[in-house]
Amino acid sequence: MSPDPDRASARPIRLLPGTLIDQIAAGEVIERPASVVKELLENAIDAGASRIEVRIEDGGVRRIAVSDDGCGIPPDQLGLALARHATSKIDSLAALEEVGTLGFRGEALASIASVARLRITSRAEDQPHAWAMDADTGEIAPAAASRGTTIEVEDLFSRTPARRKFLKSDATEAAHCLDAFRRVALAHPAVGFSFHSEGRRTEHWPAADWAQRALAGLGDEYRHAHRVVQADVGPVALRGLAGSPTASRARADRQYFYVNGRAVRDRLLMHAMRQAYSDVLHGDRQPAYALFLSIDPRAVDVNVHPAKAEVRFREAQAVHRFVYRAVEEAVRAVAGAAGSAVPLSAHGSPDTGSPVPGAPGHAPTQPLASRLQQPLTLVQAGAAATAPTVTTAASAASRHGRDWSLLSTEFYRPHGATAAAPDTDAPTPSAASAGSVASRLSAQDPPPESARSIPPLGYALAQLHGVYLLAQNADGLVLVDMHAAHERVVYEKLKAQAERGVALQRLLVPATFRADAADVRAAEEHREALLALGLDVAPLSPSTLAVRAVPALLSHADAAALAQSVLGDLRLTGSSRALAESRDAMLSTMACHAAVRAHRRLSIDEMNALLRDMESTAGADQCNHGRPTWMQLSLDELDRRFMRGR
């Protein structure tokens, strides 16, 4: 029903009642029971608590109680705690601009009290006993309680029935409350947390170090399927755990990002994470991560969202680039880096390992710091250049005088080697020729070496069904999907070649499209950077842009759509990988066709060459489509399967 303009103009202007003002404000802060849990947990942490307990009933609608052992509230300040815009966190604009607490607006308790029944029981350290206050009556009375504060919220939204109708089932609301609990608890490992639902304890997180707490949030399936992220540049530092690409998820339900201890869902940071994983995830798979960004409070504005879920950075481009590069280096470890294997569990399921700071293959912080001190430029795909191919001659085959062989393209020939045709006349292994196979394998055993000198992926032993390579390393047996592994190696080499110079393809007829003023301004300001990426975009009018050239590899792409995507990235982050991602998609297809095919007979030298290249190729733990390229079967696992020692 549309409003009547005549009737609307006759309405007098009047002040709203205080109760209605509080209920309107509560609608911005308190969306559902989980919002109450979040606000009360943050207040408890700001109070210096070391132990916090959360109890909910009927999904938090009937009752929510949060207890802590923090500093408590003196009895003469209990009434003030429920007043709107009353807080102990800030007292000036300068304090707001460098706020270091989770709460600072003084709205949470007042908002909750306006839509539910609320009771506070608190005991300050210097008080002989606790005091309790009912928000409805304002009465304060002595109570029995230890030091700290307990806030009870009952009958949520009973005073705004319309809001209550939008709530989901009790089970769904309880799940949201538990998620809010986890998001707050993850960032504060020094605090012990417990969560009770319907009288039963469902979560208990004792105080621990940050890595243990992050793993508790990600879940047991990531205990061995993560990479450690640690980087710092001046006043900015990032640490945390990034889930292995092979342990990706269908839903984005294990993504935790914190800025100075505050859980956020910020578009800039989410964009940086998508870019960091873009080259190692397949399709619409989602990564899991728990990352903690520390930054000077004066360089970030937390007062830009009602629920404080978004932030604004003073140097947004630099923060985006820092997060992107730090995470990309961690998830694109070379194959064979410490803990990068995908061990087979007792039930045969893959389980990705995890490196530790300082372990071989883990990205050091110094190279990242030196690169981030360079002037801001557009971020191109494949920032980590592929290392040169390692051509170790420590294989038994080379000792027997065999030549290095070419796999499928010249990318695979070791330096100084000549191509040799595959041994197509060799007898095919079969059950009848087991003896000859055994004799050949014994003749190809790798030289005796100490475990320390054996390469991470070891030495090749044989081929299995023309699809998998079998190798022996210090830990046991390595299984390699030869097509997937070679595909990643070729892909990284193609990328390195493409990044050394981008050839432009001039369009016979420029592609034009309508653009708003922001896109036109971005095209003018970043013209040189766009040309470096192979895209020539120039304004034809205040509302029209023309694409005159595109990268030669993308000559068949939609030039206008490509330019719009790039300019959209520029407006959001000041950098763009849209061109590079389109180019990489084509290179990935080329690599897939160039990689060695299944059932191709490889010599031992060719197998070892593939293993060495995997050890020197960034991202070689996954193929271009996000599948694992190799797995580890440990000696302990083999002993268990064959019941040795029993």
Q: pLDDT (tens digit, 9 = 90+) per residue, 504-557?
A: 889 989 999 998 888 888 888 888 877 876 789 999 888 999 999 887 766 777
> Tokens 């970030």 label which residue?
300
| Residue 385: band (very low, low, confident or very high) from pLDDT cuts 50, 70, 90 | very low
Task: State yes or no: pLDDT of 414 exceeds 50.
Answer: no
> What pLDDT is attached to residue 305?
65
Cβ distance 596 to 602 under 8 Å? yes
Residue-wise pLDDT tens digits, 95-117:
555 566 675 566 778 888 888 99
CA distance 363 to 371: 13
CA distance 536 to 530: 7
CA distance 354 to 242: 10
Cα 233–237–238 angle (5° rounding)? 125
> What pLDDT is attached to residue 373?
39
> What pLDDT is attached to residue 438?
41
Cβ-Cβ contacts under 8 Å for 33 (sequence gap 6 or more): 56, 59, 60, 61, 64, 156, 167, 173, 176, 177
- Pair of tokens at residue 443: 């003749």
Task: State yes or no: pLDDT of 153 exceeds 90.
Answer: yes
- Give the end-to-end CA distance of the chain in Å, rounded to a whole number: 80
For residue 557, the tally of other CB atoms under 10 A from its CB is 16
Read out DSSP for 203-257? EEE-S--HHHHHHHHH-GGGSSSEEEEEEEETTEEEEEEEE-GGG-BSSS-SEEE
Range scoring the smallest mean pLDDT among 62-71, 114-123, 297-306: 297-306
CA distance 185 to 179: 10
| Residue 165: band (very low, low, confident or very high) from pLDDT cuts 50, 70, 90 | confident
Cβ-Cβ contacts under 8 Å for 370 (sequence gap 6 or more): none
Cβ-Cβ contacts under 8 Å for 603 (sequence gap 6 or more): 397, 402, 405, 420, 422, 423
Q: Based on DSSP, count helices (H) and strands (E) in the chain, helices before strands.
A: 21, 22
Average pLDDT over residues 615-635: 86
For residue 490, the tally of other CB atoms under 10 A from its CB is 27
Phi and psi for 305 in degrees, rounded to 5?
Answer: -145, 140
The number of CA neighbours under 13 Å toward the Cβ of 186 is 30
> What pLDDT is attached to residue 181?
95
> What pLDDT is attached to residue 296?
87
What is the reported pTM?
0.65
| Residue 604: band (very low, low, confident or very high) from pLDDT cuts 50, 70, 90 | very high
CA distance 593 to 483: 10
CA distance 243 to 354: 9
Cβ distance 416 to 622 under 8 Å? no
Residue scoring higher pLDDT (419 or 469): 469
Residue-wise pLDDT tens digits, 123-143:
998 889 999 999 888 889 999
> What pLDDT is attached to residue 463?
92
> What pLDDT is attached to residue 229?
93
3-state secondary structure 436-461: HHHHHHHHCCCCCCCHHHCCCCCEEE
Residue-wise pLDDT tens digits, 474-505:
989 999 999 989 988 888 887 786 677 667 88
> Tokens 């250049």 label which residue?
385
CA distance 636 to 514: 64
Query: Quick check: helix, strand or coil at residue 125?
Result: coil
> What pLDDT is attached to residue 98?
58
Range scoring the smallest mean pLDDT among 180-189, 340-349, 460-469, 608-617: 340-349
Residue-wise pLDDT tens digits, 65-95:
999 999 998 888 888 777 776 666 555 566 5
Cβ distance 59 to 173 under 8 Å? yes
Question: Which DSSP category does 123 fall into?
Answer: E
Residue scoring higher pLDDT (193 or 375): 193
CA distance 555 to 582: 11
For residue 161, the tally of other CB atoms under 10 A from its CB is 8
> What pLDDT is attached to residue 462?
93
Average pLDDT of every residue of the chain? 76
| Residue 558: band (very low, low, confident or very high) from pLDDT cuts 50, 70, 90 | confident
Reduced DSSP (H G I as helix, E B as strand, rest coil) percent helix, strand, coil of the chain, to 5: 35, 20, 40
- Pair of tokens at residue 275: 């870019």
Domains, the chain, in order of start with CATH, read: 18-205 (3.30.565.10), 210-372 (3.30.230.10), 377-423+459-646 (3.30.1540.20)
